[in-house]
A and B are shown apart, each in its own frame.
Chain A
Amino acid sequence: MSTSADQVARLLALIPYLQARPGITLADAAAAFSLSQKQLMADLRVAFMCGLPGGMPGDLIEVDMDAVEGDGVIRLSNADILSKPLRLAPHEVGTLRLALQAVREIAAPESYGAIDSASAKLATMSWQDGPPAVVSIVTGDESVRQTLVDALEAQQRVRLTYEGGTRGDTTEPVVDPAAVVVREGYAYLEAWSIERSGWRSYRLDRIVAVDITGAEGEDHGRPPVRDDWLADAAAEVTLRVQDSAWWITESYPISAISGDLVTLRVVDPAWLRQLVLRLGAEAEVVDPPAAQDEAVQAAREAIDRYAAWSGTGDVLAGEGSV
C-alpha cells in the first residue's frame, strides 16, 4: 500500500513527528506508523530531497543518513515549515471514531467516559463530519466485561458460569483470562483452562457470570491466533440450499459453492443438527448423507413428542405460512 498520495500524506505527519523526537530509533518510528523499516527508509530518502524552493543546501530538510544507516536512529531537522501535521481529513476522523465504536462494544463500562470524550474531541478536528457508521458486535453483559477486564489487569484467576452453546449445558470452568478478542462480529474471551490445561475461547454473550477466585493467574504466554480456527478437524458437508437460505454462504465458513450446492466446514455435529432443523425445507444435506441423520432423528423425536403430549389433532393441524 504505497501510492504516491499515501506517501505524501504520511510524510506530512512523519516529518513533524520526527522533528519533535530527535534521536528516535528507526524501529520505534516504524512501529508508530505501522511501517516496515524499509518503507520508512524510503520515506526518509524522499524527505531528504525536499525543502524550500531554491534547492540550496540550507533550504533542504536535513536527515542524518549516516546515523540512520549506522546506528538506526533518526535525526531530522531544518523542516520548521512542517513542524505541525496536516489536519485530519473527515474520513480519517470517521475511521478512528468507527474504531472507537468497536472498542466501546467490548470494553469495560469504566472506559465509556474516555471513549466518548476521545470521540468527541476527534469530531472537532476536521472541517466536516466523517462518513456516518454504526457498529454492532455480539458481546457480553456490561458487568461480565467489567469483571473480566479487572481480572485481566490484575492477572486474577476466575470462575466462569458458561452456557456452553450448541449442547446447551452450563459449565463452570476455572480459567486464567488472557484477552478479549472479536472474530466475525462475536466477542470472545481467550483464556487458559485450568482443567483442560489448554487455551479455550468463550463467547462473551454466553458467559453468564464471572467470579474472581482470589487465586493469582499464571502466565501461559500468548493465546494462539485463531484467524482460521475452523481449519483443523473440520468435516466438509454439502447442502442443497434454496435462495431464501442463501445467507448461510455469507455467515458460515464455506469451502465451495457450485450452483445451489454449498459445502460448509463443520466442526461440531450439534451445530449442523441445529442448522438443518432451523432451515427446514430450505436446505438439505446431500453429502455425506449420514451428516443429516442427527437432525432427522431429532425432528422425528420432536414430532413424536408433540403427538404423544397433546394429541395429534390440535398440534399438527393448522400450519400457517411463516
Chain B
Amino acid sequence: MAPRKTERQLNLVIALLAARRYLTREKIRDSVEGYQNLSDAAFQRMFERDKDDLRDLGIPIETGSNDSYFDDEQGYRILPGDFELPPVEFTQAEQVVLGIAAHVFDGAALAPQASSALGKLQAAGVELSTTGFVQPRLGGDDEAVSVVWEAIDGRRRIRFDYREPGLTRTVEPWGVLVRRGVWYVYGLDLGREAPRMFRLSRVAGTVQALEPAGSYELPDRSVVEAAAASLEPAAVTDTAYVAIRGTAAPALRRRGSLVTAAVPEGYTAYAVPYGSVQEIADQTAAAAPDVLVLGPGEVRSATLRRLRAVADRPLSTETA
C-alpha cells in the first residue's frame, strides 16, 4: 500500500517537474502511473490528497492555465527554479559544526526533520564530518515536540489537555524553548486571551494540530526570546551576607566576595548577590549548616522557615 502511494506521488512530482506547460487533470490521469483504472470520483479524491501531501512537504505546485485568452481548464506544474535547493556552499569548519549538529536529535522526536534536512544538504554536495568530541543533545523524545514544531511552521493552532485530562487548552504556538532539558511551548492561550508557557511534559495525552494552516501570524522573535529570559533566574539586584564553613558551598563562594563580619569559628563571611529571595533561600537552606545567613532579614527568615519545618520532624530513632 505505502510503496504504491510513494511511487504514485513521486511519479507525479517528476511529471510536473518535467512539464513545460500546465498539465490538466485529464492529462495527469492518463499519463502518471498509479491513477489509471479509477472512477472519476476516486481519481479526484486521490489527486487532491496527493497534491495536499506534496505541498505539505514544501513542494511548490503551481496552478494556472496555458492560454490566458480562453477560459481554459486549470492545470498544474512545478517550476524547477522554485523546487530546487539553490547551490549551497559550506566551509570545512561549517561542515564540522553541522556534523555535530546532525546528531543533536538522535532518537528524539525531531530526528526525522533533522535527517530530512541533512539528506537534502548532502544531496547538494555538503559533506558532514564529525569529530565526536562534542556531543550535544536536547532530548525531546515526546511526539508532542514534533507536532508543536510543525504546527508553528504551518501557523496551525494546537489543542491539548494540560496537567490532567479534560483541562483543554487551545493555543496559537509562537515558539519553543528548551531549558535544562525541559521543552516548553510559548504562545497565545485563546481561552485566557493571554500569552502562556506550557511544559510539554505536562501535556496529558496528545497535542492536536488544528486546521486550517495559516490561522495566525507569528509575533516578532524577540517576544519568544523575552519569554525564554523569564525562565532564567531573576537578574541580580540584592546582596545577601552569609557565613560559609570551610570549603563548603563552592557555588555560593564563587558568586560571592569576602567581607568582614562576626561569624562562628571555622566560618568565613561572604557577600553574595542574588535575584530572588526564594532562589537564594533555597540554596542557603540546602547548604545548612555549612551556610548561615547574616542578612538581610527576609533571606534569613525564609531560610529559617525551611529549616524549622525540617528540624521539627522526628528522627527515625525518636518516637513521634
Contact = CB atoms under 8 A, between A and B. Distances in A.
Does B associate with A?
Answer: yes
A163 B253 CA distance: 11
Interface in A183-238: 183-187, 206, 208
Interface string B171-203: 001111111111000000000000000010110
A121 B311 CA distance: 58
Given A4-B5, A13-B123, A250-B201, A296 B292 contact: no
A95 B181 contact: no
Contacts of B298: 320, 322
Interface of chain B, helix or strand or loop or mixed? helix
A185 to B, nearest CB: 3
B304 interface: yes
Contacts of B134: 103, 106-108, 149, 179-180
B124 A2 contact: no
Interface residues of A, number: 129
A89 B251 CA distance: 44
A305 B86 contact: no
A12 B122 CA distance: 12
A110 B111 CA distance: 27
Interface stretch (B37-45, B61-69, B205-213, B281-289): B281-289
Contacts of A50: 7, 10-11, 14, 33
Interface stretch (A66-74, A128-136, A255-263): A128-136
A62 interface: no
Contacts of B149: 91, 94-95, 131
A166 B13 CA distance: 59
A13 B306 contact: no
B167 interface: no
A9 B133 contact: no
A11 B117 contact: no
B2 A181 contact: no
A152 to B, nearest CB: 4
Interface string B241-256: 0000001111100100
B26 to A, nearest CB: 13
B138 to A, nearest CB: 5
Contacts of B307: 277, 280, 299, 302-303
Nearest to B300: A315
- A-B interface, 9 closest residue pairs, ranked by CB to CB distance from nearest: A185-B181, A280-B306, A185-B180, A163-B250, A92-B117, A132-B175, A13-B119, A53-B31, A302-B289
Interface of A: 1-17, 20, 32-34, 42, 45-47, 49-55, 81-82, 84-96, 98-100, 102-103, 105-108, 111, 113-115, 117-118, 121, 125-126, 129-138, 149, 152-153, 163-164, 168-170, 179-187, 206, 208, 250-251, 274-281, 284, 288-290, 292-293, 295-303, 305-306, 308-309, 315-316, 318-320, 322
Given A81-B17, A206-B250, 19 more contacts: A4-B9, A9-B116, A17-B123, A84-B80, A86-B84, A88-B58, A88-B117, A89-B116, A92-B117, A92-B120, A102-B136, A102-B138, A117-B94, A135-B138, A164-B250, A168-B247, A290-B316, A305-B289, A320-B301
Interface of B: 2-3, 5-7, 9-11, 13-15, 17-18, 31-33, 53-54, 56-59, 80, 82-86, 88, 90-91, 93-94, 96-98, 100-102, 104-106, 110-125, 128, 131-139, 149-150, 152-153, 173-182, 199, 201-202, 218, 221, 224-225, 228, 231-232, 247-251, 254, 263-264, 277-278, 281-283, 285-290, 292, 297-298, 300-302, 304-311, 313-317
